[in-house]
Structure 1
């Protein structure tokens, strides 16, 4: 059992948390301040007046939402199988799936490029959706499987006695109880997809198919660069994900701690 936290310990923890918050806030304050230098709010107006900027937003939204839907579908079904179904080699297959946690996306760039090219996905949404889903599966599957392990098997047995098949147990029992962890996985997938810079840079060369993370490069030329507008673009890119995190924070905290207690 944990004892009562002393006042000195509370003060120490708050001071440490304040220092960590300052470390994270200083770059954000600098980003916002630098984006207002020069033309001030004109920097933001210049970004918003880009002819292709609406296309960037729409492309990012389509890609991010598609990644979330596809990832949640695959991960929820796979986690249900690994957690509640028994079949030969389940542990070995699950361990193989987790190998992806040790491989950085940059190391997979060449084989991903060859795969995307062989499927004729270059300059399409699938060139951004497919690799993003594939690289997100290992960590998402780990979170979901641990959360599904917490759901008592007695609930599934009771549902089976009521005549529910495997699909019925998954839809009526597992999914309602797994909302926190699935919401966490969805939020993380949306954030990662929205902030993705490497895949659009490599797989997309048609301007109308670029995502919002490519907007800053339109203010960087060969000999001159307007970094005030670049920073303004970065601020605008950040706003949607900050709003999403604020609304989904409580679900993320619950989802990330799922499976911590057995």
Structure 2
């Protein structure tokens, strides 16, 4: 890691980091300020008085939890296989998996719609959980594979000498040692699942199953557009993700630094 040793170097580095952060902070500051225009915190109370807000949060929580569990299980097993098993043409399979990163979700809507209608999954949580998980897995595998490759092979060889199977090595070595990168995967997956707008809009028609990202639409109509309450809705929607990041910040930074660079 780079380190500024002199006082002048630290000041220059601090100024550089501050300048890089400002463009990302300005939209957030503008969003919070705009949500307080006019009635102030009454805008937030008006949003909280929407009758379906509890249902929105519950649906988003169910979808996010399902996506996180599915992504975590598939990612850890897949990354372990790619990193530590001798599999014929595994690099070809790995690059085919990474090629899925180039697929935008909008081009998948038509085939997914036809598939879910024919299988009876349309207007169920699974119609959102499965595609979201599939879109998150390639990047998560890329991060976790690099992290697992950094675990010494001698640990797994010692476990085999003691009679442990590959499955026990995965449970007792990989799972505990990958906590930092697992936190990074959790945060990225939570952001992608919680903030997704398009898939719930298309595949969830029952109002009782719609997610929190659809909350701002309650204040946008044909003859009205209450911008302050739309911004207040956006702030309320972002709070769970911000809290999750703050709780896992240290593990997230460690995992991202270790998983991004071999």
Tell me the TM-score normalized by structure 2: 0.94
Q: 1:11: how far off?
A: 2.5
Q: Is the 2:181–2:259 contact (alpha carbons within 8 Å) kept by the matching residues of 1?
A: no
Structure 1, unaligned runs of 5 or more = none
Q: Corresponding residue for 2:94?
A: 94
Q: Is the 2:216–2:234 contact (alpha carbons within 8 Å) kept by the matching residues of 1?
A: yes
User: Is it true that 1:148 corresponds to 2:148 in the alignment?
Assistant: yes
User: Secondary structure of the residue that 2:215 maps to in structure 1?
Assistant: helix
Q: Is the 1:180–1:251 contact (alpha carbons within 8 Å) kept by the matching residues of 2?
A: yes
Q: 1:261: how far off?
A: 5.3
Q: Corresponding residue for 1:204?
A: 204
Q: 1:4: how far off?
A: 5.7
Q: 1:106: how far off?
A: 2.2
Write the mapping of 1:1-262 to structure 2, written as runs, cut at 5 A: 5-259=5-259, 262=262
Mean Cα deviation higher: 252-261 or 146-155? 252-261
Q: Is the 1:149–1:259 contact (alpha carbons within 8 Å) kept by the matching residues of 2?
A: no
Tell me the TM-score normalized by structure 1: 0.94
User: Secondary structure of the residue that 1:258 maps to in structure 2?
Assistant: helix
Cα distance in structure 1, aligned partners of 2:125 and 2:103: 23
Compute the RMSD of aligned alpha carbons: 1.7
Q: Deviations over 1:123-169 (max 9, x none)?
A: 11101100100000110010111111001111001001111011111
Cα distance in structure 2, aligned partners of 1:246 and 1:64: 18
Structure 2, unaligned runs of 5 or more = none
Q: 1:68: how far off?
A: 0.5
Q: Deviations over 1:38-63 (max 9, x none)?
A: 22222111111111110000000011
Change (3 A) 1:4 1:240: closer
Q: Is the 2:101–2:139 contact (alpha carbons within 8 Å) kept by the matching residues of 1?
A: yes
Q: 1:21: how far off?
A: 2.3
Cα distance in structure 1, aligned partners of 2:136 and 2:111: 16
Cα distance in structure 1, aligned partners of 2:165 and 2:122: 41
Q: Is the 2:125–2:204 contact (alpha carbons within 8 Å) kept by the matching residues of 1?
A: no
Cα distance in structure 1, aligned partners of 2:227 and 2:160: 62
